[in-house]
C-alpha cells in the first residue's frame, strides 16, 4: 500500500516538465551531468525532481535555500543512485546546509555510536551523515567539489555514500549487495585495498585514495566513492579490482563515461 502510494506521488511529480532553470543550473554547476548521455540525463532529471519534492532542505547559519543549492546537491546525490533500484534514500528526511565550515559539539568518544550514525569529533566539519535520516553539508565545500570535479574530493558524494552504506543499519563500509557471492567479492577486494591504504597512510606514502579513508571501513567506502565518480580512469588503471566492485555496486561504468566525454570534448575543440 505504502509503495503504491509513493509510486503514485512520484508519477504526479513527473507529470510536470523539468524546469529549464534547473537544467541550466545542472549544466553550469554540476560538471558530471555533462558527462551523461541523453537517456542518463533524462533519468537523472527525473530523480532530481522527485528528490527535491520529497526531501526537506533547510538553510542553517543564516543561509537561505535557493534553487541553485537544492539542485546542485540533489543532482550529485542522485547521480550516485542513477543505476540502483528505486527508494535508496527512502529514510532520508532532511538536508541541512550551512554557508561555511561548522563545528559540531562532542557527543561520544568512538567513531560510531550504537545506532550506527557517523558522529563527528568536536571539530570543524564539511559534511555529516546521520543514521540515514539527515545529511549536513557546508555549501562552500559543495561548491569546491563542483569547481574541481576531477580532484577526488566531493563532500556530497562522500556523505551520500555514507547514507547508502547505512541502509542496512550499520556504517561498516559495505552497502546492500544482491547476493552472497557479491558480498564475498566485496570483502575480499575492499579489505585488501583498505589495509593497503592504511599501510600507505602509516608510512606517509601517496595514494590515489585520500588517507582519510584509512580511518575505518565506512570512511574507506565514502572516499573510494569520491574517486570512482571524480577520477574513474585513474582508479580503473591503478586499482582495477576496486573499480570493478564499485562499478558492480553502483551499476555505472564511470570510466567509460569519462572516456566518452573526453572524446566528445576533443572533437569539439578540433
Pick the closest to residue 145 from 226, 89, 203 (CA basis): 226
What contacts 48, CB < 8 A, 6 or more positions away? 18, 22, 26, 71, 74, 75, 78
Nearest Cα to Cα of residue 126 among 154, 150, 149, 148: 154
Q: What's residue 267's pLDDT?
A: 78
For the entire predicted model, the pTM comes to: 0.90
User: Domain 2-265: which topology?
Assistant: Collagenase (Catalytic Domain) (3.40.390)
pLDDT at 166: 94
| CB burial readout 87-120, b (16+ within 10 A) else e | ebbeebeebbbbeeebeeeeeeeeebeeebbbbb
Cα→Cα distances 4→7, 50, 54, 93, Å: 5, 15, 15, 19
**Strand 134-138 to 124-125 pairing:** unpaired
Render each residue's pLDDT in the chain as its tens digit; 270 residues: 567 777 778 888 889 999 999 999 999 999 999 999 999 999 999 999 999 999 999 999 999 999 999 999 999 999 999 999 988 999 999 999 999 876 655 543 333 333 344 444 445 678 888 876 899 999 999 999 999 988 999 999 999 999 999 999 999 999 999 999 999 999 999 999 999 999 999 999 999 999 999 999 999 999 999 999 999 999 999 999 999 999 999 999 999 999 999 988 877 776
Q: Supply φ then ψ for residue 35, to 5 degrees.
A: -75, -20
Residue 95 grid cell: 538536508
Q: What is the pLDDT of residue 123?
A: 52
Say what the pLDDT of residue 266 is: 79
Residue 1 has what pLDDT?
A: 52
How far is residue 247's CA from residue 245's CA, in Å, rounded to a whole number? 5
pLDDT at 106 (0 to 100): 52
Beta bridge partners of 41: none
Residue boundaries of the structural domains of the chain: 2-265
Amino acid at each position: 500500500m505504502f509503495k503504491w502510494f509513493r509510486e503514485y506521488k512520484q508519477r504526479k511529480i513527473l507529470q510536470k516538465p523539468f524546469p529549464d532553470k534547473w537544467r541550466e543550473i545542472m549544466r553550469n554547476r554540476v560538471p558530471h551531468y555533462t558527462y551523461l548521455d541523453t537517456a542518463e540525463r533524462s533519468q537523472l532529471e527525473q530523480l532530481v525532481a522527485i528528490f527535491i519534492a520529497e526531501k526537506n532542505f533547510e538553510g542553517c547559519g543564516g543561509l537561505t535555500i535557493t534553487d541553485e543549492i537544492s539542485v546542485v546537491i540533489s543532482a550529485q546525490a542522485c547521480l550516485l543512485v542513477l543505476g540502483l533500484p528505486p527508494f535508496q534514500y527512502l529514510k532520508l528526511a532532511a538536508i541541512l546546509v550551512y554557508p561555511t565550515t561548522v563545528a559540531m559539539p562532542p557527543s561520544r568518544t568512538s567513531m560510531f555510536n550504537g545506532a550506527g550514525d557517523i558522529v563527528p569529533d568536536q571539530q570543524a566539519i564539511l559534511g555529516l551523515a546521520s543514521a540515514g535520516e539527515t545529511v549536513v553539508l557546508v555549501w562552500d565545500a559543495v561548491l569546491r567539489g563542483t569547481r574541481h570535479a576531477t580532484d577526488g574530493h566531493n563532500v556530497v558524494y562522500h556523505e551520500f555514500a555514507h547514507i547508502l552504506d547505512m541502509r542496512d543499519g550499520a556504517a561498516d563500509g559495505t552497502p546492500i549487495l544482491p547476493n552472497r557471492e557479491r558480498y564475498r567479492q566485496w570483502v575480499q577486494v575492499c579489505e585488501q585495498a583498505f589495509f593497503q591504504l592504511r599501510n600507505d597512510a602509516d608510512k606517509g606514502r601517496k595514494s590515489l585514495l585520500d588517507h582519510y579513508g584509512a580511518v575505518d571501513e565506512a570512511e574507506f567506502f565514502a572516499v573510494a566513492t569520491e574517486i570512482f565518480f571524480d577520477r574513474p580512469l585513474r582508479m580503473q588503471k591503478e586499482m582495477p579490482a576496486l573499480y570493478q566492485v564499485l562499478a558492480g555496486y553502483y551499476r555505472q561504468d564511470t570510466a567509460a563515461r569519462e572516456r566518452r566525454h573526453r572524446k566528445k570534448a576533443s572533437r569539439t575543440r578540433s
